[in-house]
């Protein structure tokens, strides 16, 4: 699975976004160590706070299937599904990523024309509160 293929899966997942309140569609594609891809889209709710981001949907799908090891995630979003700028993961999603991934987990943040920036989790969430701290 190339990075580009993962990006295309995230773009495809964006089409399933349920976002009638923001009209901001987000897709994510999470690659496991054994090569399986779990996709997610944002799912909004009339009460707003039950809304979940695409990244967490992808992670929770994977965790619920007993996946434990993750390599990278591609994230893409845009108003009405039009990718005009990058959609970096929100703070809550960064914290969820740190629960299941190391500091070197890769995040492909998609820009226009299927281009992307590759960043590491440690750069998105420095000085993280991580499972290793409670394990001491
Ligand atoms: N959203 C995501 O799905 N992922 C992010 O990392 C940023 C925000 C969603 C939540 C909401 O449905 C919409 O984008 C607008 O905030």
SS3 per-residue string spanning the chain: CCHHHHHHHHHHHHCCCECCCCCEEEEEEEEECCCCEEEEECECCCCCCCCECHHHHHHHHHHHCCCCCEEEEEEEEEECCCCCCCCCCCHHHHHHHHHHCCCCCEEEEECHHHCEEEEEHHHHCCCCCCHHHHHC
Mean pLDDT across the stretch 10-22? 98
Q: How confident is the model at residue 113 (pLDDT cuts 50, 70, 90)?
A: confident
Domain ranges, residue 98? 3-135
- 48-59 pLDDT, tens digit per residue, is 999 999 999 999
The answer to whether 53 and 90 are in contact (CB under 8 A) is: yes
HSE at residue 130, side-chain half, CA atoms within 13 A, is 14
CATH code of the domain containing 101: 3.40.140.10
List pocket residues of ligand 1, CB cut-off 6 Å.
Answer: 19, 22, 24, 26, 42, 44, 51, 53-55, 87, 89-90, 93
Q: How confident is the model at residue 128 (pLDDT cuts 50, 70, 90)?
A: very high
How many domains is the chain partitioned into structurally?
1
Residue of 55, 67, 99, 106 marked catalytic:
55
Mean pLDDT across the stretch 105-120? 96
pTM value is 0.97
Question: Among candidates 27, 135, 8, 2, which has minimal Cα distance to 81?
Answer: 27
The residue whose C-alpha atom lies closest to atom 1 belonging to ligand 1 is: 53
Mean pLDDT across the stretch 59-73? 98
């Amino acid at each position: 699975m190339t990075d580009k293929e993962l990006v295309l899966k995230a773009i495809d997942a964006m089409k399933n976004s349920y976002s009638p309140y923001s009209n901001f569609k987000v897709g994510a594609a999470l690659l496991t160590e054994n090569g399986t891809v779990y996709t997610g889209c944002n799912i909004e709710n009339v009460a707003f706070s039950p809304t979940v981001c695409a990244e967490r949907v992808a992670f929770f799908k994977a965790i619920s299937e007993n996946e434990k090891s993750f390599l990278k995630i591609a994230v893409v979003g845009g108003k009405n599904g039009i990718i005009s700028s990058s959609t970096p993961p929100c703070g809550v999603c960064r914290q969820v990523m740190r629960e299941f991934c190391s500091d070197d987990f890769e995040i492909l943040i998609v820009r226009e024309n299927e281009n992307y920036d590759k960043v590491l989790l440690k750069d998105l969430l420095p000085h993280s509160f991580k499972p290793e701290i409670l394990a001491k």
